[in-house]
Amino acid sequence: MSILGNAISVMTNQAHQGDLEIDPSPLLAVLKDLHSQYKLLGEGAVAKYIPELAKVNPDLFSICIVTVDGQVYKVGDYDQLFTIQSISKVFAYGLALEDHGQDYVLTRVGVEPTGDAFNAIVLDEQSKRPYNPMVNAGAIATTSLIKGSGPTERLNRMLDMFRRYIGHDVFVDISVFTSERSTGHRNRAMAHLMLNFGMIDRNIEESLDLYFQQCAVMVNCQDLAVMAATLANRGINPITKEQAVDKRYIKDILSVMYTCGMYNFAGEWAYKIGIPAKSGICGGIIAVVPNKMGIGVFSPLLDVRGNSVRGVKVCEELSQRLGLHLFDCSGQQAKFG
């Protein structure tokens, strides 16, 4: 049995015995080892193009795993709050799918990966759609699809969606929202370009405000892992047991995460790590192992592509040590139970 399988078995047996004080498991030992191994890695830099994000402590670092049966493993600064940023695109996409269905959403946003940077001002030459929901242009178009009678109702629906995934209420960091709103000229340029081609509706500022607000939602590393585990668990939050998103759209969400979630690093990520994932310039990464677990990593030092340096390293090591790659046929994949 693998390290991960052994860890789950130990915890399951203790739970059956009514032991609430669970001893450190082999899986927790792996997380502690990875945290110790990479906490002194000083490569990369914090995001600076949004002024408020430049203030973050670069030494913050946490790793969390949540299994589909609700077991939680965590190390480091896992309670530290930060803004979710581009990781929010995954969940806004799911809400847009629930509001309109796959066919309609595809008329506004494609699903093709792109080698361009996440903030490139570019649309598909033929369809005039943004390439996918994980780049900024596609995310703005996706967010513009969220239903509601006005900005307040749309924001409340968005926040309630995050609550279902995370298991508790969330709030928007107003200082980060204001900072993004006042410096988001590139995103406004994308919105006007898409308006020109009919990919978003006329009320640009309302949709942009909602987009900036969703990016400024506050979460911690454990929240990220719970959200990822909810996707791994057919849309059911493994802690609260609440259905966060219609399970019919899980394959759509995970497919786009797998091919587009890591921007112009998506191909190498799929090749080396091999699980659906999404990064954000906050320094967070979520990764989903379908039917098994969700992974959250937070470290604000970013590489040139905008991905967490420590986060990528940790996920690569976890994939190798636990046999998580979806196409690993060596027989080393992690087994649960």
Residue 263 near residue 118 (C-beta atoms within 8 A): yes
262 CB-near residues (< 8 Å, 6+ apart): 269, 277, 278, 279, 305, 307
The H-or-E segment that residue 179 falls in is helix 174-183
Distance (Å, whole) CA 260 – CA 109: 13
Binding site, annotated residues: 86, 136, 180, 187, 211, 263
Distance (Å, whole) CA 295 – CA 70: 13
- The three-state secondary structure class of 137 is helix
Written as one letter, the residue type at 168 is H
- The three-state secondary structure class of 18 is coil
Provide the 8-state DSSP code for 12. Answer: H
If we measure between CA atoms, which residue out of 6, 49, 3 comes closest to residue 337?
6
Binding site, annotated residues for substrate: 86, 136, 180, 187, 211, 263
Residue 131 near residue 110 (C-beta atoms within 8 A): yes
The H-or-E segment that residue 293 falls in is strand 293-298
